[in-house]
Amino acid sequence: MANLSTLYAGLNLNSPIIASSSGLTDNVQNIIELEKAGVGAVVLKSIFEEEILMEMDQIKQQMVGKPYVFPETKDYLDEEPHEDLIRAYLRLIKESKQAVQIPIIASINCISNQKWTYLAEEIQKAGADAIELNLFNLPSNSEIPADELEEMYLVLVEKIVDLVTIPVTIKISQYYTAFGQMLERYSKTGVKGIVLFNRYYSPDIDINTQQVSGAFILSSPAEIALPLRWIALSSESINVDFAASSGVHSGEDVVKFLLAGASAVQVASVIYKKGNSVVTEMNAFVLDWMKTHQYKLISDFRGKLSYKSLNNPASWERTQFMREFRNFLK
Ligand SMILES: Cc1cc2nc3c(=O)[nH]c(=O)nc-3n(C[C@H](O)[C@H](O)[C@H](O)COP(=O)(O)O)c2cc1C
């Protein structure tokens, strides 16, 4: 009898499908429903660095005249019975842990290496099974050189890895000058998993109002191409588990990523579009596919089509590009 268990970032998952950080994972009831539908884990909606810093500022204001001083904000949080964002986030972790069996991965959306990092310890104390850091900085500032940004992130990640004993994973973008080398450097920080890729909110332009408008909130299946390539290229050479994010919409996509060497996939858009039951269908598809191909465990085929496992690894690189494009529509 085939089963879908997989090991991702030191966590035992009953399914390789993880509910991605989003509005779907910001309350306990949804998390219970997602577990029933068959997700292997959930990544909670992120707490954002800017929100944390803003709240710390407010707390600082409230602390005027009190014997607590910044940065001992955490003592304040423990002692003052008020409802705030951080407290609510920690409560979400605690309540989710009580309500479900699946691992709960907390998520911090960070853009810099500032004083908020103590929060990682609070998250661990609240019972999270892992922390995902969403390193979310669109490198659009032409005055900041690549190495400065990269160094800032590496220092931040190392700092968080040192602060906690639970696994730390990172969710990153593709916007690096030497992506392969950056993956290698991240893997040396002690992170247990890398999620490829975070997906930036991409604005559109409304030509009637001539205004910038919101668009492309949900992904399309074609978006798997980029993470698929990078996971196939890196899964066996970089010593860390990979999870795919962006464009995973079907059971077929899950199988593709496992063959490329991913340990798990993360899904958000497809659940927004089709509801939780799509997870049940995707799990059933993967199981069926495994039965057809006589695999009992994911480890029997995971990475079979990764760069290193192929006789012709060039199919993930340039040669294939030249062949396919030359012959297209001939
Ligand atoms: C409505 C919405 C809210 C999201 N909020 C977060 C978030 O708080 N933190 C985060 O890391 N990613 C967030 N994401 C990104 C998703 O976790 C995911 O990486 C992205 O949507 C690509 O995966 P998909 O193709 O399965 O949707 C959000 C996505 C959506 C659609």
Residue 77 has pLDDT above 60, yes or no: no
Q: What percent of the chain has pLDDT over 70?
A: 84
Is 1 contained in some domain?
no
What CATH number does the domain containing 103 carry?
3.20.20.70
Asked whether 25 lines ligand 1 (CB < 6 A), one says: no
Is 143 contained in some domain?
yes
> What is the predicted pLDDT for the residue at 198?
92
- CA–centroid distance for 177 within its chain: 21
Is 32 contained in some domain?
yes
Instruction: Give the count of domains, the chain.
Output: 1
Token couple for 137: 């900085």
Is 104 contained in some domain?
yes
pLDDT band at 78 (very low <50, low <70, confident <90, very high): very low
pLDDT, tens only, 179-203: 999 999 999 999 999 999 998 777 8
pLDDT band at 214 (very low <50, low <70, confident <90, very high): confident
Residue 283 has pLDDT above 90, yes or no: yes
Atom of ligand 1 nearest to the CA of 171: 11
Is 21 contained in some domain?
yes
Is 243 contained in some domain?
yes
> What is the predicted pLDDT for the residue at 99?
98
Asked whether 173 lines ligand 1 (CB < 6 A), one says: no
Asked whether 217 lines ligand 1 (CB < 6 A), one says: yes
User: Which residue's CA is the closest to the ligand 1 atom numbered 30?
Assistant: 22
pTM over 0.75: yes
From the CA of 264, how far away is ligand 1's center (Å)?
16
Domain that includes residue 60, residue range: 6-327
